[in-house]
Structure 1
Amino acid sequence: MAEKRMVHGWRVAPATRAALLGLHPPRYEQVVAEHVTFKVGPEESAMPEVDHCLAVGMADDGLGVQALVVEIGGTTDRPDGSTWHITWSLAEGRRAKESNDVIAALGWQALAESRHIPLIPGWWTWTSS
């Protein structure tokens, strides 16, 4: 049964997304590369007021989860203790929320050059199965 959840965060602008995908090709068939999550669920605290992030690293478990690690406000550390990231691509059967586990377990590799990514703050509904 599908579950709908409210997600608060920042979207990556479509033109920026396309350029980033050219620089960092997705490894798996399901391309995500669309947002940075601040929080899932009801809004209980205000999101940081930011209009961009910096892409600084890539995580990949080699089994179907690839994530672009980003800095917001000068840090990769999210308030909940996990790492700011954009789920980049997924293999069949894998889920975006697994990016947190992959980064925590395996770490990430620094990019040769950081990239400025404009962000659009907002919220949306995410349906998971």
Structure 2
Amino acid sequence: MTTKGVFIGWSLDREDRRQLLARFPARYAEAVADHVTLKFGPGRMKLPTERAGEIVGETDDGEGVQAMVVRISGTTDRPDGSTYHITWSLGPGRRAKESNDVIREKGWRPFPEPIPVRLEPKAYGAIG
């Protein structure tokens, strides 16, 4: 696939999303709970092959960014050095990409047990 600034990653299974939002309600006005990013960039990128992950923790800056940390293929570490996550909810004026900053600056709280989640490989953005 040739891309022009595209995010490659996984879409959260819709039924899993529904169940997880019931279990972990959005703390802020905009429930996102949509996808996990693997990488962003131009050029040729292949979709990932993994189809499952585990939610292993969460972070919340108390100011409008809530995110769930995800483990895929045994790691929470993305190849770019950031952390696999699902932006869970956002307050007014906040953006999903801020989840990376919150995780890096405030860390995350691990859950006692991982929560399995189904993932669908997907590309987001301008494909050309």
Instruction: Give the structure-2-normalised TM-score.
Output: 0.89
Residue 6 of structure 1: how far off its partner (Å): 2.1
Map 1:53-72 → 2, pairs under 5 A: 53-72=53-72
Does the CA-based 8 Å contact 2:58-2:109 persist in structure 1?
A: yes
Q: Does residue 122 of structure 1 match 2:119?
A: no
Q: Deviations over 1:55-97 (max 9, x none)?
A: 0000000000000000011011110000000000000100000
Gaps in structure 1 of 5+ consecutive residues: none
- Structure 2 CA distance for aligned equivalents of residues 33 and 61 of structure 1: 16
Q: Does residue 87 of structure 1 match 2:90?
A: no
Q: Does residue 35 of structure 1 match 2:21?
A: no
Does the CA-based 8 Å contact 1:65-1:102 persist in structure 2?
A: yes
Residue 43 of structure 1: how far off its partner (Å): 4.7
Three-state SS of the structure 2 residue aligned to 1:41 is strand
Q: Does residue 73 of structure 1 match 2:55?
A: no
- Runs (4 or more) in structure 1 with deviation over 3 Å come to 43-48
* Paired AA for residue 75 in structure 2: T
Gaps in structure 2 of 5+ consecutive residues: none
Percent of aligned pairs with the same amino acid: 50
* Paired AA for residue 42 in structure 2: P
- Structure 2 CA distance for aligned equivalents of residues 43 and 52 of structure 1: 26
Does the CA-based 8 Å contact 1:67-1:89 persist in structure 2?
A: yes
**RMSD of Structure 2 on Structure 1 (CA):** 1.7
* Residue correspondences, number: 123
Residue 39 of structure 1: how far off its partner (Å): 1.5
Three-state SS of the structure 2 residue aligned to 1:63 is coil
* Paired AA for residue 67 in structure 1: A
Does the CA-based 8 Å contact 1:59-1:66 persist in structure 2?
A: yes
